[in-house]
């Protein structure tokens, strides 16, 4: 009977890992995919590799602490309770992935464990309170930092970085020689290629960060009942890879294309802002909800760029022009077309509808709150009934 329950637990843990791959690949590589710096298949491969590196190294520490600090008595993790916790984590994440919205694995996992802790009377409210406060503060910081950059600094940064997306592939294979070798695409500039490398590298950093924290969400309950951690990390990372290559394609579309038009410059800004916040939270021991932070950063940047309608002092052709309406400066000369989105100068503001989709944004925000609630309430209700029976 115990062996059968253990197999069920492993199957549920793999299901959780599958959904983690689907939920976290989008925030990590959505900017890179949305800016055509990398394909969905390459994003899934990099996600799998760097997630494993993070899980195999630092992730072990998070596995050890998740099942001991959030509850005052780790003994509440039996095989049966672990299966139920993992079931609610995987089920709730699957709901988000089904709708193409990457939900926070950390919030969903902590919610399920908190439901167990409340039902058993073993939840450490001080630890839970500290985590909850940071979960509220961090996305707000990400939104406003990205929003202010988009509203006031984006055109200047765009000229400084000077990364313009060109049509066609970034790289291609040169088959003129005996051995094919990669080379820049026919329209690719070295600066554009360098920007693509930067945004992909930051995506790899976020994938690594995801591995350090999210592997615990899939396997920590089973480690608590004595299953070998090395085996669980290998199995969990395999399941994450499967999710990255399959269901993550929908979240990559949502994060890279549907919320906001994301040229390379914008992708770099979003990746840097969200990864800095995630690393900062990890450094102080908070399970970072980088899905939420990355999403709100993308939304904030799109909102900031779409709402640059205030008047301001700006230099136009070397002359300082005070209190000039942005709308009046949409083009250099009367009748001249404004540059494409992401290539505008200080005085060019694209239409809001081209940069920011409120409908998709609302769906993302609603689902990212609903998924952890499903996990928390479902686990609490189930364990409340079971503890009365047991």
Q: Indicate if the pLDDT at residue 348 is higher than 70.
A: no
pLDDT-derived band at 256, boundaries 50, 70, 90: low
Alpha carbon distance 363, 250 (integer Å): 14
Report the 10 Å Cβ neighbour count for 22: 30
Alpha carbon distance 256, 253 (integer Å): 5
pLDDT-derived band at 48, boundaries 50, 70, 90: very high
Most confident of 63-77, 196-210, 269-283, 295-309: 196-210
pLDDT-derived band at 303, boundaries 50, 70, 90: confident
As given in the structure block, the two tokens for residue 309 are: 């309608």
DSSP H helical ranges for the chain: 2-34, 40-56, 59-69, 79-98, 105-120, 125-148, 154-161, 190-223, 229-245, 248-253, 264-283, 290-306, 352-355, 358-389
Most confident of 42-46, 179-183, 382-386: 42-46
Question: What global pTM score does this model have?
Answer: 0.69
Angle at the Cα of 160 from the Cα atoms of 154 and 166, rounded to 5 degrees: 85
Q: What pLDDT score was predicted for residue 200?
A: 87
pLDDT-derived band at 174, boundaries 50, 70, 90: confident
| Residues recorded for the chain | 390
Radius of gyration, alpha carbons of the chain:
23
pLDDT > 90 fraction of the chain, expressed in percent and rounded: 12
Average pLDDT over every residue of 70-85: 81
pLDDT in tens, 362-374: 666 676 677 788 8
Range with lowest mean pLDDT among 31-35, 359-363, 373-377: 359-363
The set of residues, in sequence order, having a beta carbon less than 8 Å from that of 74 and lying 6+ positions away, is 67, 68, 224
Query: Quick check: 329 and 173 in contact, CB under 8 A?
Result: no
Taking the CA atoms of residue 336, residue 337, residue 341 and residue 347 in that order, the dihedral angle to the nearest 10 degrees is 30
Average pLDDT over every residue of 132-157: 90
Q: Indicate if the pLDDT at residue 328 is higher than 60.
A: no
Average pLDDT over every residue of 122-135: 87
The set of residues, in sequence order, having a beta carbon less than 8 Å from that of 101 and lying 6+ positions away, is 251, 254, 363, 364, 367, 368, 371
pLDDT > 70 fraction of the chain, expressed in percent and rounded: 72
Q: Indicate if the pLDDT at residue 144 is higher than 90.
A: yes
The set of residues, in sequence order, having a beta carbon less than 8 Å from that of 320 and lying 6+ positions away, is 313, 314
The set of residues, in sequence order, having a beta carbon less than 8 Å from that of 264 and lying 6+ positions away, is 35, 37, 161, 163, 164, 165, 192, 195, 196, 199, 342
Q: Indicate if the pLDDT at residue 194 is higher than 60.
A: yes
């Amino acid at each position: 009977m115990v062996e059968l329950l253990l197999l069920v637990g492993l199957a549920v843990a793999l299901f959780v890992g599958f959904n983690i791959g689907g939920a976290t690949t989008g925030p990590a590589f959505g900017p890179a995919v949305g800016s055509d710096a990398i394909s969905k298949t390459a994003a899934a491969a990099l996600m799998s590799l760097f997630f494993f590196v993070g899980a195999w190294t630092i992730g072990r520490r998070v596995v050890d602490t998740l099942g001991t600090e959030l509850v005052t008595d780790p003994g509440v993790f039996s095989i049966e309770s672990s299966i139920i916790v993992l079931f609610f984590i995987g089920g709730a994440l699957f709901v988000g992935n089904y709708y193409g919205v990457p939900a926070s694995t950390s919030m969903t996992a902590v919610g399920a464990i908190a439901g167990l802790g409340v039902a058993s009377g073993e939840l450490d409210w001080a630890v839970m309170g500290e985590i909850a406060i940071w979960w509220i503060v961090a996305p707000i910081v990400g939104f406003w930092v990205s929003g202010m950059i988009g509203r006031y600094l984006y055109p200047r940064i765009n000229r400084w970085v000077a990364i313009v997306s060109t049509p066609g592939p970034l790289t291609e294979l040169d088959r003129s020689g005996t051995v094919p070798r990669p080379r820049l695409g026919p329209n690719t500039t070295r600066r554009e290629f360098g920007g693509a490398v930067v945004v992909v590298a930051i995506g790899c950093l976020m994938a690594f960060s995801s591995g350090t924290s999210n592997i615990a969400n899939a396997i920590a309950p089973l480690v608590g009942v004595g299953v070998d951690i090395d085996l669980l990390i290998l199995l969990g990372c395999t399941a994450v890879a499967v999710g990255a290559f399959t269901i993550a394609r929908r979240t990559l579309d949502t994060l890279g294309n549907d919320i906001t038009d994301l040229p390379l410059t914008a992708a770099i800004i979003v990746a840097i802002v969200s990864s800095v916040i995630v690393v900062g939270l990890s450094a102080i021991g908070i399970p970072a909800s980088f899905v939420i932070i990355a999403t709100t950063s993308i939304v904030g940047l799109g909102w900031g760029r779409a709402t640059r309608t205030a008047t301001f002092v700006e230099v136009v052709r070397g002359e300082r022009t005070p209190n000039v309406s942005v709308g009046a400066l949409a083009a250099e000369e009367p009748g001249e077309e404004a540059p494409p989105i992401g290539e505008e100068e200080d005085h060019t503001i694209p239409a809001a509808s081209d940069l920011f989709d409120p409908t998709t944004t609302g769906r993302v925000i609603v689902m990212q709150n609903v998924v952890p609630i499903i996990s928390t309430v479902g686990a609490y209700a189930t364990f409340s009934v079971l503890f009365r029976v047991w």
